[in-house]
Chains A and B, each alone.
Chain A
C-alpha cells in the first residue's frame, strides 16, 4: 500500500535531536490494530465522533430503500431530501455554537420565522429587492441574538428560561407581521431559486472537483508540514482515508444530482440545487472559525471550563453573547432557506418541531448537550439523519402521530448516547 512507503520516508526525515518522550506524537501506526486502538481510546474519552450519525444514515438508508425501493433511492427523492435537510442543518449549525457552551437556544426556530416574515413582508409589501430583504432578515437575526445573548451573558438569566420566554414572544411577533391565519407568498425568483433551481451540471462538477482537490491539498500539505517539523500528526492512512471518503461522497452526490430526474421526458431537470453549495460554504466558514481562530478556541474553552477560561483572561461574557448572535444569525439564514423551499411564510414558520429537529440534528451528529464537545459538521450529519427520517416516514405514509413519536424517540436516543458517553468518560478519566 502506497501510504506505508510515504510514512516510512517521512519518519526517516525527523530531526535527529528529537527530545525523549511524546512518543505518541511521532507514532505513525498504520497497522489496523493501532488505528482501532486509537479509535477505541477516543470512544473511551466520550467522543463517539461521527460514528452514530454515519451509522444512522446508512441503517436508515437501507431500511427505507428496502421498504420503498421504488421511490426512496431515486435521484428526485435524494434531491428532495437534501433540500429538505438544508434549513434544519443551517439552524443546527448555529445551535452547535450555543450547545458548545452548555447553553440552549429554544427560540432559534421561531427566530428563523421572524426573520423570514421580515424578508417576506419587505418583498411583498415594500417591493424591496431580494438582497435588501435578505440582508434585513439576517440583521434581524443578529439583533435578536444580541438581545438573547445579553439577557443570558450580561444579566445572567439561565438560557433555558430566556429562550423559552422568547420562544413564545417571537411567535407573537411573527403573527403580528404576517397576520392571523395569513400566508405571505414569496415569489422573488432569486430566493425561490435557492431551493428550486440547480447549478448547471458542468459547473456542479467543477465545484465538486475543486472542493475535493483543495481539501486533499490542504490535508496533505498540513501533514507534510507537521511531519517535517516533527509535530504531532495523524497516521498517513487516516488522512488519506478521510480524503478518499470526502472525495467519494462529494463526487457520488454530484453524480447522482447530475442525472436527469425530471418526471416527464419533455423537461430537463439535473444539477445540484443552489441550497447545497450554500450549506457547504457555511460549513467551511464556520468550521474555520471554530477550529482555526482564537475565538473558536475560546468557545471550546468556555464550554469546557468557564472558570479556567476566565482566569486565562478570556472575556467569557463576550463569548456567551456572541454564540447567541451566531445562532440567531444562522437561524435567520435557515428561515430564508425554508421560505425558499416552501414559497411562503406563515405565522407557524419556524414553530412546532423545527427547533426540536435542529437540536436533534446537532446532538445526533455528536455535539454534546453538556458543552465543550461538538463540531459544525455534526449539524450536517445529524441534519441528514433527521431529514432521512422525515422523508422516509413521509414516503411510507405513516400517520402524523407516529411521525412525532418516532422523531421524539430518535432525539431521546441521541441524548441518551451523549449522556452515557459522558458518564463513560468520567468513569475512565483517571
Chain B
C-alpha cells in the first residue's frame, strides 16, 4: 500500500520528469526497506533527498543506480518505463552516481581520473590531447576555477576539489541525472560553498540532480524540491518553497508535519 504523499503543482507538472518512481518496493530478505516510494526528479532542478539514518536513502539511490533491482513499482526515465538491471545500464541511460567515498585514484591526475575506464584512444595510443581538452571543457562549463591544473595529481587536491573532480567526472558522460551522496559531508565552510555552487550550476546546465544531505542549511540553499524519506516511505516530495526548515525536520524525524506527510497511523506505527 502506498502512503499518500503531498504533491503540489509548481509549474513543473508540464515538463516530463527525468526520473519518476511510482510505488517502488524493495526488500532484503524479510526486511522491507522501501514501501511504495514515489518520487519525481526534474531536469534543471536540484531535488534534495533527506531522511534520517536508516530511512532508506542509500537503498533508494542504489536502486536508481541499478545496483539493487527493485521488487515492485514503476521506474520511468524521461517518461519511458525502463528496467535498470545493472550499473552499466544505468550509466547508458545517463544516470551517474557520485558516492561519498568518491572512488578517485590518488596516483592519477584529474584528466586520467575523469576518463578512467573509458579512455579515448587513437589506435592503441591513448588520446591524451582530446581527453585533456574534453576534461577542461567540462570543468569550464561548470565554471570550476579552483583547480590549478587539470594535470595535477588527485593526491594534491583538497577535499572540495576532489568532490569537484568526482562531480565533473559524472557530468562528462552526457549524463542526465546526477546523484550526489552527501557531497558536503566532510568539507569546511569555503569548500562547501564551492561544491554547493557547483551543484547549482549542474542543475542550471540542464541536469536533473539528486542531492543527499543531512544539512538543512545546504538543502535550503541549493534545492528546488525536497523529498523526505521516513522509515522507507516517502513522507513528502514537494517544492522547497512550500516548506520551511522546521517542517522538513519534522518530516525527517516524525514522518509528518501538519498537513504534510504520512498519515498519522503510519507515522505512529513507525514511532
Partners in one complex: yes
* A residues adjacent to B (C-beta < 8 A): 19-25, 41, 45-46, 225-226, 229, 231-232, 292-294, 297-298, 300-301, 303-305, 307-309, 311-314, 372-373, 425, 429-430
Say whether A226 contacts B129, CB under 8 Å: yes
Provide the bound-state CA to CA distance between A171 and B204, in Å.
66
- Residues of B contacting A22 in the complex (Cβ-Cβ under 8 angstroms): 136, 139, 147-150
Contacts of A297 in B (CB 8 A): 108, 112, 116, 119, 126
Distance in Å: Cβ of A225 to nearest Cβ of chain B:
7
Instruction: Sample 26 A-B pairs with CB under 8 A, ordered by A number.
Output: A21-B139, A21-B140, A21-B147, A22-B147, A22-B148, A24-B152, A25-B151, A41-B156, A45-B155, A46-B155, A231-B133, A232-B151, A293-B126, A294-B119, A297-B108, A297-B119, A297-B126, A301-B116, A305-B103, A308-B116, A309-B116, A311-B103, A312-B103, A372-B107, A429-B106, A430-B156
Query: Are B136 and A313 in contact (CB-based, < 8 A)?
Result: no
Across the A-B interface, the 5 shortest Cβ-Cβ residue pairs: A312-B117, A304-B105, A24-B149, A24-B148, A304-B107
Q: Is B132 an interface residue (CB 8 A)?
A: yes
Tell me which residues across on chain B come within 8 A of A45, comparing CB atoms.
153, 155-156
- CB of A430 within 8 A of CB of B121, answer no
Q: Chain A contacts of B80 at CB under 8 A? A: none
What A residues does B150 contact at CB under 8 A?
22, 25, 232
A89 to B37, CA, bound (A): 61
| Chain B contact patch, size range | 35 or more
- From A23, A294, A372, give the contact of B106 (CB < 8 A): A372
Q: Which of A20, A305, A313 contacts B88 (CB 8 A)?
A: A313
Asked if B64 is an interface residue, CB under 8 A from chain A, the answer is no
Query: From residue A298, how far is it (CB to closest CB) to chain B in Å?
Result: 8
- Please give me the residue from chain A that is nearest to B88 by CB atom: A313
A99 CB, nearest partner CB in chain B, Å: 13
| Nearest CB in chain B: distance from A181 CB, A | 47
Q: Which residues of A contact B94 (CB under 8 A)?
A: none
* Contact indicator A23/B125 (Cβ below 8 Å): no
| Distance between Cα atoms of A40 and B144 in the complex (Å) | 26
| B residues 166-191 touching A (CB-CB < 8 Å) | none
14 other A-B residue contacts (CB within 8 Å) besides A226-B129, A232-B149, A300-B112:
A22-B149, A25-B149, A231-B132, A232-B150, A292-B126, A294-B126, A297-B108, A297-B119, A301-B112, A303-B107, A311-B103, A313-B88, A314-B116, A372-B107
CA of A297 to CA of B147, assembled, Å:
22
CB-CB under 8 A from A303, the residues of chain B are 107
Tell me if B239 counts as interface (CB < 8 A to partner A): no
- The listed residue with most A CB atoms (<10 A of its CB), out of B105, B145, B159, is B105
User: Chain A's nearest CB lies how many Å from the CB of B30?
Assistant: 30
Closest beta carbon of chain A to B156's beta carbon, Å: 6
- CB neighbours of B118 from chain A (8 A): 312-313
Q: Say yes or no: is B157 at the interface (Cβ < 8 Å to chain A).
A: yes
Residue of B nearest to A372 (CB): B107
Interface centre among B107, B117, B139, B155 (most CB of A within 10 A): B107
A231 touches B149 (CB 8 A): no
Give the residues in chain A near B87, CB-CB below 8 Å.
311
Given the complex, which residues of A lie within 8 Å of B241, measured CB to CB?
A: none
Docked-complex contact A293 and B155, CB < 8 angstroms: no
A305 and B243 alpha carbons, distance in the complex (Å): 42
Q: Which of A301, A304, A372 has the most CB of B within 10 A?
A: A304
Distance (Å) between the CB of A147 and the closest chain B CB? 27
Give the shortest distance, in Å, between B124 (CB) and chain A (any CB).
6
Contact check, B105 vs A430: say whether CB atoms are below 8 A apart. no
Partner of A19, one of B104, B126, B140, B159: B140
In angstroms, Cα B151 to Cα A301, docked, is 15
Pick from B117, B129, B136, B155: contact of A225, CB below 8 A: B129
Minimum CB–CB distance for B107 against chain A, Å: 4
User: Is A305 a contact partner of B104 (Cβ separation < 8 A)?
Assistant: yes
A373–B87 alpha-carbon span in the complex (Å): 29
The winner among A20, A25, A308, A309 for most chain B CB atoms within 10 A is A308
Q: How far is the CA of A22 from the CA of B151 in the complex (A)?
A: 9
Bound-state Cα–Cα, A309 to B117, Å: 7
Interface core residue of B103, B124, B155 (most chain A CB under 10 Å): B155
Contact partners of B101 in chain A: CB under 8 A:
307
Is B151 in contact with A21, judged by CB distance below 8 angstroms? no
A21 lies within 8 A of B144 (CB):
yes
A429 to B119 CA separation, bound complex (whole angstroms): 27
Which A residues lie within 8 Å of B126 (CB)?
A: 292-294, 297
- Counting CB contacts under 8 A, is B100 at the interface? no
The answer to whether B58 has its CB under 8 Å from any CB of chain A is no
Taking a contact as CB atoms under 8 Å apart, the answer to whether B108 and A301 are in contact is yes
Q: Are A20 and B155 in contact (CB under 8 A)?
A: no
**Separation of A232 and B136 alpha carbons in the complex (Å):** 10
- A residues in contact with B148, CB < 8 Å: 22-24
B215 at the interface (CB under 8 A from A): no
Nearest CB to that of A368 among chain B residues? B107
Question: In this complex, what residue of A is CB-closest to B159?
Answer: A430
Central interface residue in A22, A225, A300, A430, by most chain B CB within 10 Å: A22
Most buried by B among A20, A300, A307, A430: A430
Q: Does B146 contact A (CB under 8 A)?
A: yes
In the bound complex, what is the Cα–Cα distance between A298 and B118 (angstroms)? 10
On whether the beta carbons of A304 and B139 are closer than 8 Å, the reply is no
Q: Which of A20, A294, A311 contacts B121 (CB 8 A)?
A: A294
The chain B residue sitting closest to A306, CB to CB, is B105
Report the Cα distance A231→B119, complex, angstroms: 17
B155 touches A308 (CB 8 A): no
